[in-house]
Amino acid sequence: MHLSKETLLIIKKALNEDINTKDITTCLTIPEGLKGQGIIIAKEKGILCGIEIAEEIFKSLDTEISFKNFKKDGAFVEKGEKIAKITGNLRTVLTGERVALNFLSMLSGISTVTKKFVDKVRGTNVKILDTRKTTPNLRNLEKYAVSTGGGLNHRETLFHGILVKDNHLKASGCIINSKLDKKKVAAMIANIKKNTSIKIEIEVENISEFIIVADNHPNIIMLDNFTLPDLIKTIEKRNKSYPDILLEASGGITLKNVKKVARAGIDFISIGMLTHSTQALDFSLDIL
């Protein structure tokens, strides 16, 4: 992972947030200049992510710190496995400990759950996507964790793709009395195509909405919270009448049902929980 200026700034802010002006406890208990070693250990199995960020945290506090990682991002780690060794000033090791472990835990948790979804759909052509349901200011890191786990990134920002959702349809007047208006939808999509070459994705909530939107041939249609039977019917309709349109399933996708959704013949599955509610992977740092 190349640490961008944005990532370096995030690290700096995280350290400032945690340390403020001084690590009082460490300064009052550890003699200045005392050297030693610390080992980062995985406390549960999963996919490692954020090891270079952890290294940068310690080295940004003390350039003389030695950080040796035993695993790279994307590697599987077992419970109890040693991940990295930090050698140098013990004040630095203890001061940087929590921030480093927080990043490792958060990002590895995202990579781990992403890998579980990717493994569930293995053997199909489905691509697992993340969403914009990310932690403010940490999106790039969280999306990096998704890619480390084998998933793909949806649009990075609002500028990087067109995704017309239900509120856009309502606000633009395309929904009248809870139903899509064919003429207004056609006019809206035509206007988008006239003004940009960016791929167009439209969200629909049922089969009738799908047909109205598909008649205007956007690049992708998102099937939001479709039941499995309706999903299958829609995919069959796409295959027969609109083969040029890609389909994305979203909403209510879990590890229990993702394989059935994938086998239905969908192209993409977007999962918000990859980033918005993933459980962290636990790590510890032990002084030797």
Q: Which of 224, 238, 248, 267 is catalytic?
A: 224
The values of phi and psi at residue 285, to 5°, are -125, 120
- Three-class SS of residue 277? coil
User: 36 has which bridge partners?
Assistant: 88
Q: Can 203 be counted among the known catalytic residues? A: yes
- Three-class SS of residue 138? coil
Q: Which residue is listed with tokens 């299958």?
A: 232
Nearest alpha-carbon partner for 275 in 154, 163, 132, 159: 132
Q: Which of 71, 82, 98, 237 is catalytic?
A: 98
| Cα dihedral 50, 54, 55, 57 in deg (nearest 10) | 140
- In angstroms, the Cα distances linking 120 to 222, 230, 231, 259 are 21, 22, 18, 6
Q: Which of 203, 209, 248, 267 is catalytic?
A: 203
Q: Can 17 be counted among the known catalytic residues? A: no
End-to-end CA separation in angstroms for the chain: 28
**213 in Cβ contact with 221 (< 8 Å):** yes
Q: Can 179 be counted among the known catalytic residues? A: no
**If you ran DSSP here, which 8-state letter would residue 49 be given?**
-
**210 in Cβ contact with 174 (< 8 Å):** no
**33 in Cβ contact with 54 (< 8 Å):** no
Q: Which of 71, 82, 85, 133 is catalytic?
A: 133
Q: Can 165 be counted among the known catalytic residues? A: yes
Nearest alpha-carbon partner for 156 in 187, 130, 191: 130
Q: Can 91 be counted among the known catalytic residues? A: no
> Which residue numbers are catalytic?
98, 133, 165, 203, 224
